Chain A
């Protein structure tokens, strides 16, 4: 199942609606890396609100998406991690080191705003 990637100004929004197979994740990563360059995006928001599990492969893929996007000039923010998912992740020792997170899409976009426009930014 492909993940729709929407363009909103200079931000790309990808909303993962269902658990992805490893192959889907790889495709998603390639697609996103390609679009960041093509649209000259400054920010990427990955919305995982609908997911009730994030396994190690998904976590690793998201991390590498973020690092790739940064090399291409865009900051990645993962939004909508649910409490249960967060607890499971820390218990499994999975981390999104180096990737910004926010409560939901709105917060994620707000976090990106100072990069693309004015506004105050929450610390580190």
Chain B
């Protein structure tokens, strides 16, 4: 079972990264008011649960198979058998009275498996609803003489089920956040290239939203490139930056100052009229910024500073840097 082993490992990782410690689990139990009495009440139910486990599971999977969305997960009869077996294990575990670290780790593992196979939480929650109803009805049958006890046992089960749901939903959220973080990192790396366009002339096109973290990365990347390429002039093009607030402006100024400390001259290009106006309105001291209207102008200015002269072939019979 490659999936199980893989997600088994990631479940451990998850419980660590999600900071689900013993203390955290105890806090959750305390909030649900899940006490020792609840565990005892559930343990008292184990014998009964053994008896109706199979029919409940059968009912549940009949229910699953009657919906296209959930049936799709059990196309393979072998998978169905295995999942049923695991489901029964879980079902009995609900009434075993042991809800410590192992139990929690198992819930997280199941959560990651479900997230992994893209089982949406709505089906997952629906299954719990089915469980609670099936168990509730049977509880009343078994304890028909003592409905109070049946109800309080049912409430204990509710607490446990809500804890399980909480854990599973957290793994869903965490897994999605992880994916989002990875994508953001990928976008970040893609979006801060430093390109050499002439000897000693670098181009830094900035596109998208600049936050502190990205500004830091841009600065670091630029300074490294300045050293590696022995750049003297950098054209920083911010055509792709839609809005600039005072924070972003300060980041840009810091980048420019840091580059200057390394002996590179920064030309900023591509300030749209909106950006220019908002900068003026914000009253940011832009004396340190050397700006040229557009990217072309910036590159030409950079070439001029470096002593290049571009000559059109038709005019001078050849293009060569001066």
Contact = CB atoms under 8 A, between A and B. Distances in A.
Contact of A86 (B233, B262, B290): B262
Contacts of B220: 83, 87
Interface string B234-273: 0000000000000000000011011111111100000000
Interface string A8-19: 000000000000
A82 B265 CA distance: 16
A89 B258 contact: yes
Interface string B214-232: 0010011001101100111
B99 to A, nearest CB: 49
A101 B262 contact: yes
Contact of B264 (A82, A103, A120, A124): A103
B227 to A, nearest CB: 6
A118 interface: no
B178 interface: no
A95 interface: yes
Q: Interface majority SS on A: helix, strand, loop or mixed?
A: mixed
B307 interface: yes
Interface string B262-304: 1111000000000000000000000000100000000000001
Interface string A104-124: 000110010000000010111
A90 B93 CA distance: 59
B232 A83 contact: no
A102 interface: yes
- 3 shortest interchain CB distances as A-B pairs: A83-B223, A102-B263, A86-B258
